[in-house]
Amino acid sequence: MNRQQLKDNIFGKRSVLCVGLDTDLSKIPVHLLNDEDPVFAFNKAIIDATKDFAVSYKLNTAFYEAQGIKGWISMEKTLNYIPKDIFTIADAKRGDIGNTSEQYARTFFHTYPFDSVTVAPYMGSDSVQPFLGFEDKWAIVLGLTSNAGSADFQLQPSGKEMMYQRVLKTVASWGTPDNIMFVIGATRKEQLQEVRQLLPKHFFLVPGVGAQGGDVDTVCRNAMNDDAGLLINVSRGVIYVSGKEDFADKAHEAAKQYQKEMSVFF
């Protein structure tokens, strides 16, 4: 999916909602466990309930890989079920030496045709650039995260700037705003403002809204650009609102509320 197609869907729905399908067998409603493929049954119901409000779905591959071959099958079925006009993210956090990254890129752009994949930049340019050679595909690079451990490296000085600032500027130079996004945590408005000033044109994938304490208003006010420039990920706050048979209806209501909060910025 190219930038214009993503933008058109965002402005058409007046939404920047990304629903995280971090599907955990221990958390889905028990009545689904008798299904031949409980994970896909759950995901299918969530997609049906939220697709009118979501512009993206993010599949955290760890939740599928942990189930072995069954999990990979569930992931592929889920990816194929998502409407083609909705942006898909393989949250795989890959990144290795060049020839290995080339295979990771083929995995998530050809074998499983996601629109994007999350990438860790620690090993440098040769770990990221193989993901940038695919038309209308995106690398979503870890930039500034909201977890406690981010202070160990990201918030440490690197010369006259913080490490995360150096990473953002360096990685941005490897590609363009049409094939690189960045993961930017949602919990501090000052950092959102600072990162947006540093990268005025790039899209940000923003976790941390909902269960982790971030909120839509803070993110949109401090990090939107002319193309919206945001995908705000919500996982638990949509897919696990209810653990009962009404889980899809509750997910629908939650996604609709998030879209309502986002719509005022369009």
CATH assignment at residue 157: 3.20.20.70
Is a pLDDT exceeding 90 seen at residue 254? yes
Q: Dump pLDDT digits (tens) for 53-62.
A: 999 999 999 9
Contact 87, 56 (CB under 8 A): yes
Burial of 139 (C-beta count, 10 Å sphere; 0-12/13-18/19+): buried
CB distance 115 to 135 below 8 Å: no
Q: Give me the phi and psi of 190, to 5 degrees please.
A: -65, -40
Active site residues: 93
Q: 187 pLDDT exceeds 80?
A: no
**Total number of domains in the chain:** 1
In tens, the pLDDT along 124-159 reads 999 999 999 999 999 999 999 888 888 888 889 899
Domain boundaries, position 19: 3-263
CB-based burial label for 123 (10 Å; 0-12, 13-18, 19+): middle
Backbone phi, then psi, for 55, in 5-degree steps? -105, -5
Radius of gyration of the chain, Cα coordinates, nearest whole angstrom: 18
pLDDT at 74: 98
State residue 169's pLDDT score. 97
Give the total residue count for the chain: 266
Residue 262 CA to residue 266 CA, distance in Å, equals 8
DSSP string, 55-102: EEEEEETHHHHTTTHHHHHHHHHHHHHS-TTSEEEEEEEE--SHHHHH
pLDDT, tens digit (0-9, with 9 covering 90-100), for 68-99 = 999 999 999 999 999 999 999 999 999 999 89
Average pLDDT, the chain: 95
Please give the pLDDT value at position 213. Answer: 66
Contact 46, 19 (CB under 8 A): yes
List, in sequence order, every beta strand (DSSP E) within 163-210.
Answer: 180-184, 203-206
Residue written as tokens 């031949």? 36
